[in-house]
Amino acid sequence: MRILVTGGLGFIGSHVVRRLLQEPDVEVTNLDALTYAGNLANLADVAEDRRYRWHHASITDEEAVDRLLAQTHFDAVIHLAAESHVDRSIEGGVPFVKTNVAGTQILLEAARRYQVDRFLHVSTDEVYGSLGTDGLFSEESPLRPNSPYSASKAGSDLLALAAFRTYGQDVVVTRCSNNYGPFQFPEKLIPLFITNGLEGKPWPLYGDGKNVRDWLYVEDHAEALWLALVRGKAGEVYNIGGKNERSNRDVADTLLNIMGLGADTVVLVPDRLGHDQRYAIDPSKAERELGFRPKHHWDDALARTVDWYRQNTHWWQAIKSGEYLEFYHRHYRSLGARPDEP
């Protein structure tokens, strides 16, 4: 099976590529623009694999996408490429609309033109908006995105589902909760706190730290995507999550404990604008119809994630410089924090 993965040089995409290559009859082409969030080091271990190749182009480049799909027939597309960070989308949403909305439509149209059998669109629980203290997101929950990031992802989901309804294109949509694990870009909560901890820097906790996320280990997400690809029904949405709700304060406390750091590491900073209070996924449809079961447990997988960042300092130190450092200082200063002072 020939699979086109988009965004394979990013965090989740790199785990998906590695998971796909475990299937003996799968060949992977990775379409990735290598933005600030992409990193060749994320797939250095498979770079020489003859069943893997990287194609350097943007999903927003209609001609490049058309040429690629005209040259090679793909059996499936797994679409992960996106601008993915909420805080960056609050600074400016245009790149989010271009990549997440226009890029998705360009890919959908090319996949239709060249008769790709299946299009797996990888989305997020953030499209459902925010929950109060009770309830879970089901596939029937209304889409009520609150950030430019989640609004652009919701737009891309609707385009994917419209392609199914209008043209009968074989499209499957997945919506997953927050991921954690190796190779996650250190602008996101867990790798930011781990790497700041290793550098002796403070942990900026937004607001009162009571916001809740439903955390899933990235390899469990990659497995769910494989299952959705081979077992999912066209036109269907599948929510993916690990029934693992934690407040941000709880995540910080667990990490302090694993890393042997003091409570004064955590510094409360003013809240993110429009900060969603709680995300929580009901994954029963994916369990029932795809046979999805997360294999990794939070305490264990989080401790192994900390170990990975400890052992791969060269990976994140190379990232935490240049463009990233500029974003980091600008962003946390704008919240009134002093990001350099431990």
Residues that bind ligand TYD (CB under 6 A): 86, 178, 188-189, 192, 204-206, 211, 213, 248, 272
Catalytic position from the list 52, 128, 149, 332: 149
| Backbone torsions φ then ψ of 290, nearest 5 degrees | -110, -15
Q: Decide if residue 68 touches ligand NAD (CB under 6 A).
A: no
Contact 109, 172 (CB under 8 A): no
Q: In terms of CB distance, is 5 or 306 closer to ligand NAD?
A: 5
Task: Determine which residue in the list 185, 193, 226, 316 makes contact with ligand NAD, applying CB under 6 A.
Answer: 185
Task: Give the nearest distance from C-beta 107 to ligand NAD in angstroms.
Answer: 9
Catalytic position from the list 126, 187, 220, 223: 126
Residues 108-147 as x/- pattern, contact with ligand NAD by CB under 6 A: --------------x-x-----------------------
| DSSP string for residues in 251-307 | HHHHHHHHHT--GGGEEEEPPPTT---B--B--HHHHHHH-------HHHHHHHHHH
Q: In terms of CB distance, is 103 or 182 closer to ligand NAD?
A: 103
Task: Determine which residue in the list 12, 64, 224, 286 makes contact with ligand NAD, applying CB under 6 A.
Answer: 12
Beta strand ranges found along 80-201 (DSSP E): 118-124, 171-176, 179-180
Active site residue 125: yes
Residue 162, SS3 per DSSP: helix
Active site residue 126: yes
**How are beta strands 179-180 and 203-206 bridged, if at all?**
unpaired
Interior angle at CA 239, CA 237 and CA 240, nearest 5: 135
Q: Which does 331 bind (CB under 5 to 8 A by kind): ligand TYD, ligand NAD, none?
A: none
Q: Which does 192 bind (CB under 5 to 8 A by kind): ligand NAD, ligand TYD, none?
A: ligand TYD
| Backbone torsions φ then ψ of 301, nearest 5 degrees | -70, -30
Contact 2, 73 (CB under 8 A): yes
| Backbone torsions φ then ψ of 92, nearest 5 degrees | 180, 120
β-sheet bridge partners, residue 124: 176
Closest to 171 in 3D by CA, of 222, 105, 127: 105
Contact 138, 282 (CB under 8 A): yes
Q: Decide if residue 33 touches ligand NAD (CB under 6 A).
A: yes
Q: Decide if residue 38 touches ligand NAD (CB under 6 A).
A: yes
Active site residue 61: no
d(CA 143, CA 139): 10
Instruction: Considering only residues 82 through 101, tell me which ones interact with ligand NAD, judged by CB under 6 A.
Output: 82-84, 99
Task: Give the nearest distance from C-beta 133 to ligand TYD in angstroms.
Answer: 15
Closest to 245 in 3D by CA, of 211, 220, 271: 211
| Backbone torsions φ then ψ of 225, nearest 5 degrees | -70, -40
Q: In terms of CB distance, is 15 or 265 closer to ligand NAD?
A: 15
Task: Determine which residue in the list 4, 9, 26, 190 makes contact with ligand NAD, applying CB under 6 A.
Answer: 9
Contact 57, 64 (CB under 8 A): yes
Q: Which does 255 bind (CB under 5 to 8 A by kind): ligand TYD, ligand NAD, none?
A: none
Q: Which does 103 bind (CB under 5 to 8 A by kind): ligand NAD, ligand TYD, none?
A: ligand NAD
Q: In terms of CB distance, is 153 or 201 closer to ligand NAD?
A: 153
Q: In terms of CB distance, is 121 or 213 closer to ligand TYD?
A: 213
Give residue 243's identity as a one-letter amino acid code: K
Task: Determine which residue in the list 2, 23, 34, 130 makes contact with ligand NAD, applying CB under 6 A.
Answer: 34
Contact 335, 195 (CB under 8 A): no
Binding residues (CB under 6 A) for ligand NAD: these are 6-7, 9-13, 32-35, 37-38, 58-60, 80-84, 99, 103, 122, 124, 153, 176, 178-179, 185
Active centre residues (catalytic): 125-126, 149
